[in-house]
Amino acid sequence: MTRLIVASLGGSVIMPGTPNVEFLRDLRREMARFKGKVIFVIGGGTTARLYAGALSKLDNSKKDQDFVGIQATQLNAELVARVLGVERTDKIGKHNFKKVLVSGGFEPGHSSDFDTVEFALAYGIKKVFNITNVDYIYSKKPGSPGARAIKKLSWKEFRALFPGRWTPGMNIPFDPPAIRLCEKKSVKVIFIGSNVKNMFQAFKEEKFVGSVVK
């Protein structure tokens, strides 16, 4: 049976300010070599935060802020789909696809992390990959004094590091609704950085740099 990977690919990786051409080129090359199948759910990143922030300053609702963020995920997803030469879906659920399926976000109230977990559960998968611009989960903001990498932790420990409710454009490793869903459904999440070689080593269950939360 062909291995299926479900991964949340952060918008900050795809669009850190301008499109990350080097990452996209490496992703296309390694994906061509990979023997399994992958569902990539793409985040909104900087673009989503900028647009949501603008609406926040104009006193628009959180729902409005979420919807512009969703459009940012769809634009980023369209970019990735075009680079990989595949279709982009607008529906969570099982799909008939050859090797790669790309999606953005869909609904207000959470980030594309939640959609990624829902995709995995639709296929009966209890492991999700989360690809961001940092290599590990850290005890504090990465780069701040005393911040240390944490390689393994429980969802309870994770929640203690990242408490709170969903806010449009919030910048944390995994959004609160997705955390709750993972806890409820016993889903493991592997957090890895944007090094493409390391990313595919994790996909292939080889030695990798990253954090595991379960």
Rounded CA gap, 163 and 6, in Å?
25
Measured in whole angstroms, the distance separating CA 118 from the mean position of its chain's CA atoms is 12
Taking domain 4-213, whether its CATH number is 3.40.1160.10 is answered by yes
Per-residue model confidence as pLDDT tens for the chain (214 residues) = 568 999 999 999 999 989 999 999 999 999 999 999 999 999 998 899 999 999 999 999 999 999 999 999 999 999 999 999 998 998 898 998 999 999 999 888 899 999 999 999 999 999 999 999 999 999 888 878 888 999 999 999 998 888 788 888 788 889 999 999 999 999 999 999 999 999 999 999 999 999 999 9
Q: Compute CA distances 153 → 50, 83, 89, whole Å.
A: 31, 35, 33
Rg (CA), the chain: 16
User: Taking Cα atoms as reference points, which of 149, 147, 117 lies closest to residue 130?
Assistant: 117
What is the predicted pLDDT for the residue at 168? Answer: 82
What is the predicted pLDDT for the residue at 131? Answer: 97
Contacts of 133 (CB under 8 A, 6+ apart): 10, 12, 13, 16, 193, 194
User: Taking Cα atoms as reference points, which of 126, 137, 111 lies closest to residue 212?
Assistant: 137
Rounded CA gap, 20 and 124, in Å?
32
